[in-house]
Structure 1
Amino acid sequence: MDIAKYWKTIVDTLQDGLMVVDPKGRIIAANPAAERVTGYTADELIGKSCRILNCTGCKIIGKGAGTQWCGLFNRGSIREKKCLITNKDRHSVHIVKSASVLRNEKGDIIGAVETLTDITEKIRQQQEISNLRKTFYLDEGYHGILGKSPVMIDLFEMIDNVAQSETPVMIQGESGSGKELVARAIHRASARRDKPYVKVNCAALNENLLESELFGHVKGAYTGADRTRVGRFEAAHEGTLFLDEIGDIPPAIQIKLLRVLEDRKIERVGDNRPIPVDVRVITATHKRLETLIQKGLFREDLYFRINVFPLNCPPLSGRREDIPLIAQSFIRRNAVSSGKKILGLTPDALEALTEYAWPGNVRELRNAIEYAFVLCQSGGIGVQHLPHKIVNGSVDQQAVCELDPACVKGRQGLIDVLRQAGGNQSKAAKMLGVSRVTVWKRMKKFGIDIKQDVG
């Protein structure tokens, strides 16, 4: 049986869209699946330029036929390329495209055939799975980092993206903001996750010790070197090396570090044999390296080598909506370790934590919760259990207020209302027609103490 005569029935049965174009990109045939994918009927497609689909995977030259029309005719074929096309309703459709050039018996180009596989539903499902993962990250922590604020969600996405590459990352942020957690998250999200993760605090060691710590040494390299030692670069081979406080590295070590990053080879102290290392380097600092460069304290070439992809760790004061989540996490941990039945924070204590400036960032919040666990025996952590500076601020607000006559008047007015309310802030808020939080903020601004000033 001559099956060739049934080619149209075969093509029309295909689940993937199929189109045939001539050497100038004009569509000369399209099967029903192509109609479903594009939204156009075959009659609407045939005779039209393939540009009608606005495919992101096409490199259109448009200066003639064949090789002068598009890149496909130069390459000869395309295999499983992910693209976007625009359908008749002007919506984007995710497709996988394969294509081959058609030639006659003489080898001349007579057109091309393309198959279009609609993967929009698959992409949507992948996005839903990704969103679900991010939801779990928000509740359970993204590789140990807690946060629901927009800046943290953006940071998680940046970590996900950079983790898929080998690009050097520099993490900047205030002390205590979680730079090491970010570095560890990059490692855990990367293809190196099952390999070593090694950290070096560059600020904790002097020049000689730091050189040996990074590159290792051989026996007898210096006084006290009674055995050969492997350095952190070798220990992190095929994994990740996190250099914390990179701004404190001495100039002599900066030169050697730059050479290692460029050559991917180290030499142990006291030896001249190069040892190849495969290490992804992540650095962090709370200092402004640009200022150190201007002062001649940091090499500019090293800066550009390590600062390919900068990441910023936002301070806790810039994401106050995350404070309840982080504080509750610390409470759960301390409850387990201490055995105390402390479940959470009172509303006043939570307001105090939210309003505080947090110069020490997450580290200071952790310490504040540990402090509260010493004083609180059970139930909820109240304002009376928090460190004094968090409740009252680090500045004597009453003394500041006394320098401003308008502030003195406002302070006394609020004290009078609080006295009428018997010291009850919620009642005072109703009398003033404001929220209890507003009353609390004004009390803090004016430096009002309920016991001392209201009585």
Structure 2
Amino acid sequence: MTEHEINLYLREVINTMNDGLVLVRTDGTIMLVNDALLDMTGYRREDLLNRSCSVLGCDVCERSRAEGKQHWCRLFNTGHESRKSCHIIRKDGSYLHVLKNASILKDDDGTMLGSVETLTDISELDRKELKIRELSSILHRDDRGFCGFVGRSEKMKRVYSLLRKAASSYAPVIIYGESGTGKELAARAIHELGPRNESPFVQLNCAALNESLLESELFGHVKGAFTGAYRHRLGRFEEAADGDIFLDEIGDVPLPIQVKLLRVLETRTFERVGDNRPLSMNARLITATNQDLNELVGRKQFREDFFFRINVIPVYLPPLRERMEDLPLLAEYFLARTDDCAQVQPAISPEALNILMRHNWPGNVRELKSVLEYASVVRENGPITPAHLPPNIGTEQKSPLPAADNFLSGDEEDEKNNLLGALRRSRGNKSEAARILGISRGTVHNRMRKYGITYRIE
């Protein structure tokens, strides 16, 4: 085949490529695109031909045009750019992560004729990397457990049953539980057991970011949306696609963001920061909190309408002190993993186990894991004894509530003891204590003042 014949069939040749290809004139207008680029972007040829190459919205190209010196684009100064990671914007407004190579085209006299760019879609690699992170997080789970949970108590069996039912639904799920009870494990279990388990599982701790950063993390932003926004950014909702998105510490979300999240749930659309094009939200929302959202609603610190939208399927994780029958099994599980190189798994003496069973565990399972890691490091050989436990475990614990008044009547004594018991069970949560006692929250306040009770966790 001669060079002339090759040129005759060049268009057919480039249309067989898997990578997108763009030929750009020296004035920046597009003169040729291949079929792969059209498939990647959703545009038609007539949408692109003779238009400025900026129509693709590449964030790297915007910087290249700004640094063009005597030319409109930096490429005409450098002559070649390779393996540039960037985001372009499809016709529907969604981002596409691509790897770009570009080069200047010149004739025999060295006159610039234009440029050629190839774009490789690497969004599938992003999805696989996310899946690898998901799988690595569950790699060392025990087969005896339930999706990472360890426990056979009746309370945990009820939790497992509810998680299975929640997983089969597409409705929003909210997970309640104290710090260290395994709320992230519960969210992952819902994802893994549900019909979206082949799609992404994306999570975000809402307490770790201020309002502006949280909005950008959730919804993404376009280049130039605010100071420091040098690149397009994919938001968590867009990253989740048709999978599950898990928002931890939802009680710490600022009220303005709650309004925007409420709109996302109601319209199933969202907008990036700095952009007005609506994007579809197909992910299922899972939230979690260690706070009493009803109490926050009452104090106007949490929107009631948003609370109703996320509180569709509530899941309550019991604290460790309410399922102490699981502690020996948890201890065995954690000790087996404290030293993977150990030939013999450390054992716990009956005296040490008795101390662990009497502890209140304000940090729940996370605290138990830390205590056992400490004991495994301190001991040299033999079983773990009381001497190997941290100093705060096994010492005389101060009562979080004052002792009973000796001058109370019998009825008052019973009333006070019932109140103390309810406050202990609720760990000072007055609304929960009121529910346990079957009285109003105001009555709990009045009785606490009457008996001089101020609950503090030490």
Question: TM-score normalised by the shorter chain: which range applies?
Answer: 0.5 to 0.7
1:356 match: 359
Question: Conserved in 2, the CA contact under 8 Å of 1:171 and 1:313?
Answer: yes
Distance in 2 separating the partners of 1:322 and 1:164:
27
Question: Conserved in 2, the CA contact under 8 Å of 1:138 and 1:147?
Answer: no
Question: Conserved in 1, the CA contact under 8 Å of 2:346 and 2:376?
Answer: no
Does 2:166 align with 1:162? yes
1:146 match: 150
SS in structure 2 at match of 1:230: coil
1:439 match: none
Amino acid at match of 1:277: M
SS in structure 2 at match of 1:220: coil
2:431 match: none
Q: Which runs of 5+ in 1 are unaligned?
A: 1-136, 404-455
Distance in 1 separating the partners of 2:396 and 2:360:
8
TM-score (normalised: structure 2) = 0.55
Measure how far apart 1:378 and its partner are: 2.6
2:228 match: 224
Amino acid at match of 1:395: K
Does 2:319 align with 1:308? no
Distance in 1 separating the partners of 2:225 and 2:364:
42
Measure how far apart 1:139 and its partner are: 6.4
Distance in 2 separating the partners of 1:208 and 1:351:
49
1:64 match: none
Measure how far apart 1:335 and its partner are: 2.1
- What does the per-residue CA deviation read over 1:336-382, in whole Å, with 9 as the maximum and x for residues that have no partner? 0x647443211111111111100000010011011111201233111
Question: Conserved in 2, the CA contact under 8 Å of 1:214 and 1:231?
Answer: yes
Question: Conserved in 1, the CA contact under 8 Å of 2:220 and 2:236?
Answer: yes
SS in structure 2 at match of 1:314: coil
Does 2:383 align with 1:367? no
- What does the per-residue CA deviation read over 1:49-108, in whole Å, with 9 as the maximum and x for residues that have no partner? xxxxxxxxxxxxxxxxxxxxxxxxxxxxxxxxxxxxxxxxxxxxxxxxxxxxxxxxxxxx
Amino acid at match of 1:162: A
Question: Conserved in 2, the CA contact under 8 Å of 1:341 and 1:379?
Answer: no
Amino acid at match of 1:367: S
Distance 1:377 1:281, change over 3 A: same
Question: Conserved in 2, the CA contact under 8 Å of 1:342 and 1:379?
Answer: no
Distance 1:396 1:255, change over 3 A: closer
Amino acid at match of 2:282: D
From 394, 397, 412, the equivalent of 2:397 is: 394
1:319 match: 323
SS in structure 2 at match of 1:282: strand
TM-score (normalised: structure 1) = 0.56
Does 2:304 align with 1:295? no
Distance in 2 separating the partners of 1:285 and 1:340:
40
From 250, 256, 261, the equivalent of 1:252 is: 256
Question: Conserved in 2, the CA contact under 8 Å of 1:187 and 1:197?
Answer: yes
Does 2:384 align with 1:381? yes
1:173 match: 177
Measure how far apart 1:260 and its partner are: 0.6
SS in structure 2 at match of 1:171: strand
Question: Conserved in 2, the CA contact under 8 Å of 1:340 and 1:377?
Answer: no
RMSD: 2.2
Distance in 1 separating the partners of 2:397 and 2:239:
44
Question: Conserved in 1, the CA contact under 8 Å of 2:237 and 2:245?
Answer: yes
Measure how far apart 1:166 and its partner are: 0.6
SS in structure 1 at match of 2:272: coil
Measure how far apart 1:290 and its partner are: 1.0
Question: Conserved in 2, the CA contact under 8 Å of 1:342 and 1:378?
Answer: no
Q: How many residues in Structure 1 have an aligned counterpart in Structure 2?
A: 264
Which one has the bigger helix percentage?
Answer: 1
Q: Extract structure 1 runs of 4+ deviating beyond 2 A.
A: 338-343, 393-397
Amino acid at match of 2:346: L
- What does the per-residue CA deviation read over 1:142-166, in whole Å, with 9 as the maximum and x for residues that have no partner? 0000110000001101111111111
- What does the per-residue CA deviation read over 1:156-212, in whole Å, with 9 as the maximum and x for residues that have no partner? 011111111111111111111111111111111101111111111011100000000
SS in structure 2 at match of 1:365: helix
Task: Give runs of aligned pairs for residues 313-352 of structure 1, distance below 5 A.
Answer: 313-336=317-340, 339=342, 341-352=344-355
Distance in 1 separating the partners of 2:172 and 2:388:
44
Question: Conserved in 1, the CA contact under 8 Å of 2:173 and 2:315?
Answer: yes
Distance in 2 separating the partners of 1:396 and 1:254:
38
Measure how far apart 1:138 and its partner are: 9.5
SS in structure 2 at match of 1:140: coil
Distance in 2 separating the partners of 1:396 and 1:281:
40
Does 2:279 align with 1:275? yes
Percent identity over paired residues: 51
Distance in 2 separating the partners of 1:391 and 1:204:
34
1:233 match: 237
From 186, 192, 195, the equivalent of 1:188 is: 192
SS in structure 1 at match of 2:195: coil
Task: Give runs of aligned pairs for residues 24-103 of structure 1, distance below 5 A.
Answer: none
Distance in 1 separating the partners of 2:194 and 2:360:
34
Distance 1:396 1:221, change over 3 A: closer
